Structure 1
């Protein structure tokens, strides 16, 4: 994840691509979510189930907050780029990292969701959703880069960045409240 974040962020800054920057930020959010999850599991291991449940709520809310933050960034950055008609440049490293991330995130998220369901862990589910979101962002970045290469349109990066906002808000709300609004796993890649 760290390599993915560094490549996506560096490529995004170089190409002025908000979708690549968002992809890199999502990778960092995924790392933060994993750290929150480790904290939650350690709390239960060391202090018992009641402390684990409190840590579960806190870790889930951290995951939800991070998802909301990424959605806000995407709306603000894409809105600004569309308003000012600023486009991004094509990025081969961005294309490669997005292609590599799609199958990795798909496999990782499926495994995390299975374990989260077995444990009944909202925090692990939120972490799995971070992986799902990363996979969708990979796909959106890939489609955006290919469309940008084919069309050369200045607005493609911003529009493709906005595609993921609805998922981020829905999954952020679910992580924050603990309500499963996904209809039994529709969020899979």
Structure 2
């Protein structure tokens, strides 16, 4: 693949990730709220602009874009009842022992170290803001992967912010 082809492909992947988040009802403001929730207790002078900047840097990474696209596509296929059984039932009901949705989320936070892991575990348990909405079970809507992806993006951005604040990464 030439450099031009690579640049075009990179832009397609980046654009698809952003569009899918938006299409599924996740705004940048929602993500900013989550990063603030995670970091404000440790960083009282934190601004929304700083949160947004770190979210955008996280979303620039191709492996994170790939995780977004993959997870959301699986949620959409589950809504269309297009997955094979028993996977269809497992994803559709967000079965507690499935765990692949969390594994995909951990691939996102892994980029930013242990602060990302602990922040993700916390936010996944508490489910503040948009995470509570995404976790609600509604007929015909599946967010099995999306709620974990969104929590992981916020945790990764919070971790990136913390590392930058203390002079690492």
Indicate the TM-score class for this superposition, using the shorter chain for normalisation: 0.3 to 0.5
Please give the TM-score of this superposition, normalised by the length of structure 2: 0.40
Please give the TM-score of this superposition, normalised by the length of structure 1: 0.37
Structure of larger gyration radius: 1
Structure showing the higher helix proportion among its residues: 1
